[in-house]
Amino acid sequence: MPRQKGFKHTVETKQRIRNAHLKRKQALGYVNSPEARVRMSIAHLGVKLPEKTKREMSIAMKRRYSNRPIYTLDCAQCGETFNASLSQVKIGRKYCSHKCYSCSKKGKAPYNKGRRTGKKSWNNKQIERNCSYCKRPFFISPSEKSKRFCSMKCYRSSHEYHPAWNKGLPPERQSNWKGGKSFETYTKDFSNVLKELVRQRDNHKCQSCGVPQVECIRKLCTHHIDYDKKNNKLCNLVSLCDNCHSKANGNREYWEKYFNKVIKEAL
């Protein structure tokens, strides 16, 4: 008996048809194993389709979505009709474009106008305090008892704000300027082979904190004790972790004496 136009299978019937097709494919060997699927996906990586195939796929997708229902709605701003899909109707689309949406918001106060940051929470553990500059009330948590200003604007406007003295100064006038040593290049003698010799001599441990290289994210750094990148003697090199290497860039006189003493004891 021929089916009527618009006939649809039930969910149970669709599931039985799907299972029957799957069993048939498994019997004929059409279903690929998970390992075969992984190999197929790797083989298709980076493959570019020709323009003819792309056009055919585009036409097929247009045919697929051309049968979907299209709803006609009236724009709430300009009153013109526009087309919308079922999903857009469900979420409540009201405007035909972003321009109409932005025009509908002109002259209206935003939803958060008049609200201040630090709104009192539901647990009633926040403390109300008046700003030391603008005298407006604001809320703070128990861990912010030293906070006395409601915003950074009030803090900067008060007399207690003192910007850093070296802000905006050129590098030559900074306190830690060492004549541009960080821009100096290493010599060819400072190679990976030399670094590995230093690590083997130090038993692959940081000579400052003693942490082994296995527990570090990267290999141990090779540090110049006298901060001269051209002096690549073994007695002038020491293995350090990242944290200790960054510490050694400050207070250089102390660290130079300390590492010289460590190397003398090791040798």
How many Cβ atoms from other residues are within 10 Å of residue 238's Cβ? 28
Whether 230 is in a domain gets the answer: yes
Assign 121 a pLDDT band (cuts: 50, 70, 90). very low
Q: What is the average per-residue pLDDT within 69-84?
A: 88
Output the pLDDT for position 1: 52
218 domain-assigned: yes
Asked if pLDDT for residue 229 goes beyond 90, the answer is: no
Domain-embedded: residue 181 = no
Phi-psi group of 203: left, alpha or beta (phi > 0 → left; psi -120 to 50 → alpha; rest → beta): left
Instruction: Please say if the pLDDT value at position 238 is more than 90.
Output: yes
Mark whether 253 and 204 lie in a shared domain. Answer: yes
**What is the average per-residue pLDDT within 77-98?**
88
Parent domain of 257 = 188-266
Over residues 246-264, the pLDDT tens digits come to 888 888 889 999 998 888 8
Q: Does a structural domain hold residue 253?
A: yes
Residue 224 lies in a domain: yes
Instruction: Please tell me which residue, 147 or 114, carries the higher pLDDT value.
Output: 147
Mean pLDDT of all residues belonging to the chain: 82
Q: Taking the model in full, what pTM does it have?
A: 0.38
**Is the same domain home to 141 and 86?**
no
d(CA 133, CA 154): 6
Residue with tokens 């195939």: 53
For the chain, what percent of residues have pLDDT higher than 90?
Answer: 10
Is the same domain home to 212 and 260?
Answer: yes
Task: Provide φ and ψ at 93, rounded to 5°.
Answer: -65, 135
pLDDT for residue 262 = 87
The string of pLDDT tens digits covering residues 199-224 is 999 999 999 888 888 888 888 999 99
CB within 8 Å of 101: residues ≥ 6 apart: 77, 95
Only one residue has tokens 């405007």, namely 95
The Cα–Cα gap between 60 and 44 comes to: 21
Please name which of 86, 56, 81 lies closest in space to residue 68, comparing C-alpha atoms: 86
State the total domains in the chain.
3
pLDDT of 143 over the 90 cut: no
Tokens at residue 168, please? 């905006």
Which residue, 211, 220, 215, is CA-closest to 242?
220
Residues 141 and 201 occupy one common structural domain: no
Give yes or no: residues 251 and 192 share one domain.
yes
More confident residue, 162 or 33: 33
Give me the amino acid identity at 208.
S
Taking residue 242's Cβ as centre, other Cβ atoms within 10 Å add up to 14
Report d(CA 172, CA 179) in Å as an integer: 7
Looking at the fold, whether 221 and 262 belong to one and the same domain comes out as yes
User: Do residues 198 and 252 both lie within one domain?
Assistant: yes
User: H or E element: which one contains 155?
Assistant: helix 152-157
* Between 183 and 87, residue with greater pLDDT: 87
